[in-house]
Amino acid sequence: MAAIATTPQALKTLHPLIQSAVPVWVPPSLQHHDRSNPSSDGAADSHIQTYAGSLSDHLATLWPHHRAFIFCLAAGATTRLIAPLLQDKATDPAIIVVDASGDYVISLCGGHQGGADQLARLVATQLGATPIITGASAQQDLPGIDILGNPFGWHRGSGNWTSVSATIAQGKPVQVLQDAGSPLWQAHLPAGHPFQFGFSEASTAGATQKPSEDSSKEQTEQPTEAPDPQARIWISATQRKFEATSAKVQWHPRVLWVGIGCERGSSRHLIETAIARTCQASHFAEGAIAGIASLDLKADEAGLLDLCEARDWPLRCFTAETLRDIPVPTPSDVVLAEVGTPSVSEAAAIAAATSDPSESPQLQAPKLQVTKQIHRLEGEPGAVTVAIAQAQTEYTGRPGHLALVGIGPGALNQMTPAAKGAIAAVDAVIGYSLYIDLIRPLLRPGQIVEALPITQERARAERAIALAHWGLSVAVISSGDSGIYGMAGLVMESLSQAGWDGASPSVQVYPGITALQAAAARVGTPLMHDFCAISLSDLLTPWEMIEKRLRAAAQADFVVALYNPKSKTRLTQIETAQSIFLEHRNPETPVALVQSAYRETEQITITTLGALLDSTIDMLTTVLIGNASTLNHQNWLITPRGYLGFHRD
């Protein structure tokens, strides 16, 4: 990614990006400009680079090595600069334009496949700007059809993508025939979407039957009143051929595991040709290949390794002991005598298609779609056997990420830009429905959003981890700070119990303003001296422990924030807490009850320790109890910085 600024104002506007290590190119005249910026630091300076000569020449040299450009320049000037360099939306970089005052971030070009829409949203959160997305699908609250499968690692197949996108933009019905890959994207479409879901054609995919482009027709019964679809999308491992002009496209989820057996020294060319021929004969798309499976003896086979690297295919190898127990259609005694298993290609394909860690055991076993085929090439030494098995779950080829995000107390302007950026960036957002509603304006079309009831915290954590293991980037949201009585702890606990290696999936925790800070800010400065937080919820903590901490805090004169003070079923804990504090503190000690801070339903009550039970306290309330020095001045709670008039001379 690179940014470009040509004026001092533009450079200033891009400053937050420079701080997040985006390199910014400036003309020599601006070289020293940022150093005079008082908020500039040495680290930021190192991301500012100067170009000599014309910007258009410089852009031409940067173009092939960058996936995204951020111009803080007039949209017209940017358009002229990029015009000679644009080639194809499948390969062009993302182009976004930021206006000089940093109010708007325009996704100018490469919105879907280039990722410019997504980048514009992210940059907008960083600059506190409004993203401008002009693509039709965003207006319709739909995922771009040409980026639909990206979260799941699907490969975009052939077809007339422009025509299908145009049909969707016109709001005309579009038929979707999906027989492979996750249906998760279907669960998060807005009401009134244009898709008609056809029946699975799983039985026709594969080796036996040649799929004509219309092979699905007989099987696809639409309700009689449904209008005829004007475009068609296949999501399948099958390779379909259609005329360039027809409004038809295909995505290929990576569900095929290709089992390979080969003689030592078989060339990459031979193996690649064998796979291509097998796919062609069985009407499978090479784009649907998840990876290669073989015997561990082949883990150092040069041609195989070379091919896997070139095609970005993982190589899953299994021992002869594992393979020999797998029932296969074409076992061979010769192979058994040679390597200790009667089957390599068929057994390895089945083993790889089963060994996906995200595969749950109740799913049906993978299907061997193509039995062992032997390939040789004239003039080439070696022989290759190929078999293909289809997994239930696609291989995403993505590392997976968990963003543990604190969304702050309620209002979006109390949330950090980093947390907003994290939510804009992820494939999936998981959280309690009330919190999902609070951040709804930050969600984007096509994002997977799973709102679960408040009671199912563990289930939420497990679900997030499963999706991340599978390869998705997932934000788990909590109110306040995610690491303070929040979801982050549950997720980290579950990860550690599951033997997480600390790196995969990667984890990042985004802090948020916690309830005690939010509540304190609404009533003054009660936390100015030593304070502590105590949750009165005894669901996960024994009450004796809570009581012990209440006593200790009361005795030590901490300012105290009580979280979870009361719920529909827990009524007495707050009464006990009050009586413990009254043993050590004056009944006149100021107390604040802050309910739903920074939300529309916010309620604030300033009272005293003695009278605290006279006001409403519920599960959305934080109770702040002052220390011996805390004052109530005109209904503002003030805890002095110094303690009880103490001052060291």
Residue 410 engages ligand SAH in binding (rule: CB under 6 A): yes
The encoded tokens of residue 504 equal 């995969």
Nearest to 622 by CA among 574, 573, 565: 565
Residue 431 engages ligand SAH in binding (rule: CB under 6 A): no
Q: Which stretch binds ligand SAH (CB under 6 A): 46-54, 122-130, 141-149, 483-491?
A: 483-491
Residue 486 engages ligand SAH in binding (rule: CB under 6 A): yes
Q: Return the number of the residue (165 or 537) whose C-beta is nearest ligand SAH.
A: 537
Nearest to 147 by CA among 189, 115, 179: 115
Of 209, 599, 603, 615, the one binding ligand SAH (CB under 6 A) is 599
Residue 118 engages ligand SAH in binding (rule: CB under 6 A): no
Burial label, 46 (beta-carbon count in 10 A; 0-12, 13-18, 19+): exposed
Count of residues touching ligand SAH (by CB under 6 A): 25
Q: Report the site for ligand SAH in 239-268 (rule: CB under 6 A).
A: none
Q: Return the number of the residue (168 or 515) whose C-beta is nearest ligand SAH.
A: 515
Find the shortest distance in angstroms from Cβ 576 to ligand SAH.
Answer: 17
Q: Residue 211, preceding bond cis, omega within 30 degrees?
A: no
Find the shortest distance in angstroms from Cβ 494 to ligand SAH.
Answer: 17
**Residue 4 φ/ψ, nearest 5 degrees:** -135, 130
Q: Return the number of the residue (14 or 593) whose C-beta is nearest ligand SAH.
A: 593
Beta strands of 114-273 (E only): which ranges?
A: 130-132, 155-159, 174-178, 195-197, 231-235, 248-252, 256-262
Find the shortest distance in angstroms from Cβ 109 to ligand SAH.
Answer: 41
Q: Return the number of the residue (174 or 516) whose C-beta is nearest ligand SAH.
A: 516
Which H helix or E strand runs over 369? strand 367-375
Q: Which stretch binds ligand SAH (CB under 6 A): 348-356, 360-368, 391-399, 620-628?
A: 620-628
Q: Report the site for ligand SAH in 275-314 (rule: CB under 6 A).
A: none
Find the shortest distance in angstroms from Cβ 542 to ligand SAH.
Answer: 18
Residue nearest to ligand SAH (CB): 480
Of 150, 267, 393, 564, the one binding ligand SAH (CB under 6 A) is 564
Q: Return the number of the residue (400 or 486) whose C-beta is nearest ligand SAH.
A: 486
Of 479, 589, 605, 632, the one binding ligand SAH (CB under 6 A) is 479
Q: Report the site for ligand SAH in 498-527 (rule: CB under 6 A).
A: 514-515, 518-519
Find the shortest distance in angstroms from Cβ 435 to ligand SAH.
Answer: 9
Q: Which stretch binds ligand SAH (CB under 6 A): 211-219, 386-394, 448-456, 590-598?
A: 590-598
The encoded tokens of residue 175 equal 């038929």
Find the shortest distance in angstroms from Cβ 620 to ligand SAH.
Answer: 6
Q: Return the number of the residue (247 or 594) whose C-beta is nearest ligand SAH.
A: 594
Q: Return the number of the residue (621 or 630) whose C-beta is nearest ligand SAH.
A: 621
Q: Which residues of 590-627 are buried (b: 16+ CB within 10 A; e: fewer)?
A: bbbbbbbbbbeebeebbbbbbebeeeebeebbbbbbbb
DSSP 19: H
Q: Return the number of the residue (514 or 605) whose C-beta is nearest ligand SAH.
A: 514
Of 385, 596, 605, 629, the one binding ligand SAH (CB under 6 A) is 596
Find the shortest distance in angstroms from Cβ 563 to ligand SAH.
Answer: 4
Of 115, 149, 211, 409, the one binding ligand SAH (CB under 6 A) is 409
Q: Report the site for ligand SAH in 134-173 (rule: CB under 6 A).
A: none
Q: Return the number of the residue (234 or 598) whose C-beta is nearest ligand SAH.
A: 598
**8 Å CB contact between 1 and 24:** no
Residue 597 engages ligand SAH in binding (rule: CB under 6 A): yes
Q: Return the number of the residue (275 or 574) whose C-beta is nearest ligand SAH.
A: 574
**Residue 432 φ/ψ, nearest 5 degrees:** -65, 140
Give the helix, strand, coil percentages of the chain, each rounded to 5.
Answer: 35, 25, 45
3-state SS, 547-576, equals HHHHHHHHHCCCEEEEECCCCCCCCCHHHH
**Residue 184 φ/ψ, nearest 5 degrees:** -55, -35
Q: Return the number of the residue (313 or 598) whose C-beta is nearest ligand SAH.
A: 598
**8 Å CB contact between 482 and 405:** yes
Find the shortest distance in angstroms from Cβ 184 to ligand SAH.
Answer: 27
3-state SS, 163-182, equals HHHHHHHCCCCEEEEECCCC
Q: Which residues contact 133 (CB under 8 A, 6 or more apart)?
A: 107, 111, 117, 120, 121
Q: Return the number of the residue (163 or 576) whose C-beta is nearest ligand SAH.
A: 576
Residue 334's alpha-carbon distances to 330, 337, 385, in angstroms, are 12, 5, 14
The encoded tokens of residue 408 equal 């702050």
**8 Å CB contact between 390 and 282:** no
Instruction: Annotate 332-344 with DSSP letters as a single string.
Output: -HHHHHHHSSS-S
Dihedral over Cα of 377, 381, 383, 386: its sign? negative
Q: Return the number of the residue (247 or 405) whose C-beta is nearest ligand SAH.
A: 405
Of 347, 594, 617, 624, the one binding ligand SAH (CB under 6 A) is 594
Q: Return the number of the residue (353 or 439) whose C-beta is nearest ligand SAH.
A: 439
Of 478, 578, 629, 639, the one binding ligand SAH (CB under 6 A) is 478
User: Residue type for 519, please?
Assistant: A
Of 69, 284, 531, 563, the one binding ligand SAH (CB under 6 A) is 563
Nearest to 275 by CA among 264, 212, 266: 266
Q: Report the site for ligand SAH in 51-70 (rule: CB under 6 A).
A: none
Q: Which residues contact 61 (CB under 8 A, 6 or more apart)?
A: none
**8 Å CB contact between 600 and 539:** no
Q: Across-strand partners of 69?
A: 2, 95
x/- track of binding to ligand SAH for residues 438-477 (CB under 6 A): ----------------------------------------
Q: Return the number of the residue (447 or 622) whose C-beta is nearest ligand SAH.
A: 622
Q: Return the number of the residue (448 or 594) whose C-beta is nearest ligand SAH.
A: 594
Burial label, 314 (beta-carbon count in 10 A; 0-12, 13-18, 19+): middle
Q: Which residues bind ligand SAH (CB under 6 A)?
A: 409-410, 478-481, 484-486, 514-515, 518-519, 563-564, 594-599, 619-622
